[in-house]
Amino acid sequence: MSKSFIRIWNIFTTLLVTLVVILALLLVGVRLFGFRVFTVLSGSMEPTYHVGALIYVKKVDTMELRSGDVITFMLDEDTVATHRIVEVVPDEEDPSVIRFRTKGDANDNVDGSLVHYKNVLGTPVFTIPLLGYLAGYIQNPPGSYVALSLSAVFLLLVFLPDLFADSGKDSKGRAVAGKRKGRAGKASLEPEAAGAQRETAVLPEERPVQSRKNRPGHAAAPARTRETPRVPSLPRQRRGKHEAGGRR
């Protein structure tokens, strides 16, 4: 792969990873900070909260709630609603118990029943339009299966260029090592050949040595013999006579 393509792909995957991380934080990670996430399914709170929006609800002290505040509460065991408080109704027998009369912003009439303070889940802090459609889709089959499949493909696409780059580096490294090895072998042979040439160049050319006798056009000189001079021998004296003459 070309370097420009790998650079563009890395930028794309980085942006995609960032988007996925942000989405995961918005759908799941916010629960670590005490938020509860709900999807708006009806238009009773238009235009404050649109259909398909996600609302993030934070727990609140119910004794501090006043008329005009928006609360999210349990309408029954299976239904959660978000409406605006129009009246705070204290209990006649126990002042510590309060109830809330609520009404949707788009509705003409108030809700038919009062909301007990223990059924209040909290108050919406912020909302993200349209994100509820995606959240509702991936939380239920077949959306959850599609999300798992896309996650696997996404991970493969993220690490695929690195795998190709590693394989390319390995093959290139082998080729470079082979070239270096070939150059090293050639370089080791060249000095040997050069040394051999130097040795043969240094050695003088051997020529047969011809003696004077064997040289062409040269006459052989007669051999000369040296005469050893003879030393003259001294006359022998008789030892006995000399000794007798001495006695005289």
| CA pair distance 13, 167, nearest whole angstrom | 20
Question: For this structure, is 211 an active site residue?
Answer: no
Q: Which pair of tokens denotes residue 65?
A: 């709630």
Which of 113, 35, 31, 128 lies closest to 74, judged by CA?
A: 113
Answer left, alpha or beta for residue 75, where phi above 0 means left and psi between -120 and 50 means alpha: alpha
Q: Specify the pairing of strand 80-90 against strand 98-103.
A: antiparallel
Q: Which pair of tokens denotes residue 8?
A: 């563009």
| CA pair distance 144, 151, nearest whole angstrom | 11
Q: Which pair of tokens denotes residue 140?
A: 């239920």
Which of 27, 28, 9, 29 lies closest to 156, judged by CA?
A: 9
Are 82 and 49 in contact, with CB atoms under 8 Å apart? yes
| CA pair distance 117, 70, nearest whole angstrom | 13
> Which one from 2, 4, 42, 44 is the annotated catalytic residue?
42
Alpha helices in 28-65 (DSSP H): none
What's 78's DSSP letter?
Answer: S
**Angle ∠(47,49,55) on CA atoms, nearest 5:** 170
Are 41 and 58 in contact, with CB atoms under 8 Å apart? no
The residues annotated as belonging to the active site are 42
